[in-house]
Amino acid sequence: MNTVKVLIEGYAKINLDGTWDATCSTTLIDTGKLKIIMDPGCNRKLLLKALKNEGLKTGDIDYVFISHYHPDHCLLIGIFENATVFDSIQYQKGPVGGETPEHLPETDIQIIKTPGHAPEHASLLVPTNKGKILVGADVFWWAEGVKPTLELDFPDDFASDMGELKKSRKKALEISDWIIPGHGKTLKVK
């Protein structure tokens, strides 16, 4: 059975000068056969430390899934030298690529298109012994100091389309028992 572990709990802070200090939640999914990273983020030091704490090296990761292309989620894609990289549209392993299927190959992990924060945004729905976990990235996220919520109307200043984001949030709440947000603590849905 799949196991899911948040390696880095994403954070987002606004600095006094208006810049951001942020990296996304980075999640490790272990199928028993494959090791999958969702959203490697942008903080190399934190990521390498988290992998080391799990007894893993970058070469041990089979798949990397990118929810969307904001730099705080995808900057470190290239450090996984043996991984096949997937997004909501295509996959790539070295020079070979193709169309992304509905499930990650050789798994029961479903790729769920969740546009709104970004047009290409997607999440992973992972069946586990604990229930269905949606590694939801920025379908839901909170800046530091903001109370976490699963409200459909919660504002997202970076959203490309709030109407689409609300639909994606509704779908996320209908299909999952737990949601791992792009920035902030995992929340129980049901």
Residue 190 in this model has a pLDDT that exceeds 80:
no
Q: Which pLDDT band holds residue 29 (cuts at 50, 70, 90)?
A: very high
Average pLDDT over residues 157-170: 97
pLDDT of residue 10: 97
Choose among 5, 15, 13, 9: nearest CA to 41: 9
Average pLDDT over residues 119-144: 97
Residue 72 in this model has a pLDDT that exceeds 80:
yes
Residue 135 CB-half CA count within 13 A:
33
Choose among 133, 152, 181, 141: nearest CA to 26: 181
Partners of residue 113 on adjacent β-strands: 122
Domain ranges of the chain: 3-188
CATH code of domain 3-188: 3.60.15.10
pTM for the model: 0.96
